[in-house]
Structure formats: C-alpha cells, structure tokens
C-alpha cells in the first residue's frame, strides 16, 4: 500500500515541480508607470490600470502561448 502512496507522491511532486519551473521561466513584467495592456498612466509600482486590463493581458498571453508563439 505504501508503494502506491510513494509512487503517487512522486507523481504529484513532479507535476508541481514542472508547474513551478514553467512559472519561473516566464519573463516578469517590470513597472514602468504605464499599463502593460492599454498604455494608460498608472502608479510607479503598478503593472496595470485595473483588474480588467490584467485579466485581458493574461488571456492574451495564454492565447499566444497556446498558439505556440513566443510570448
């Protein structure tokens, strides 16, 4: 029984590790006082002017990644 648990643990940990590695390989956005989606001025530490732009940006990047293009 513990063999199954051990194997399952290894599979789960490997999947989590692959997910974390994929997230860490993504380029990080740097704040530049402009919304990264609509180019509106934002505060110095903000990346987006609001959650709508953030969500649209994420959706656009995901679509580009699914299409197999560089993001």
Q: Which of 9, 22, 25, 37 binds Zn ion (CB under 5 A)?
A: 37
Per rule CB under 5 A, count of chain residues that contact Zn ion: 6
Q: Does 53 bind Zn ion (CB under 5 A)?
A: yes
Q: Does 47 bind Zn ion (CB under 5 A)?
A: no
Q: Which residues contact 49 (CB under 8 A, 6 or more apart)?
A: 35, 37, 38, 40, 42
Q: Which residues contact 26 (CB under 8 A, 6 or more apart)?
A: 71
Structure tokens at 9: 């643990």
**Shortest gap between Cβ of 52 and Zn ion (angstroms)?**
7
Interface residues with Zn ion (CB under 5 A)?
35, 37-38, 40, 49, 53
């Amino acid at each position: 029984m513990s063999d199954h648990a051990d194997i399952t643990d290894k599979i789960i940990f490997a999947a989590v590790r692959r997910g974390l590695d994929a997230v860490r390989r993504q380029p990080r956005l740097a704040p530049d006082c402009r919304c990264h989606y609509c180019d509106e001025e934002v505060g110095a530490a903000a990346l987006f002017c609001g959650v709508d732009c953030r969500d649209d940006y994420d959706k656009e990047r995901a679509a580009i990644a699914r299409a197999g293009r560089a993001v």
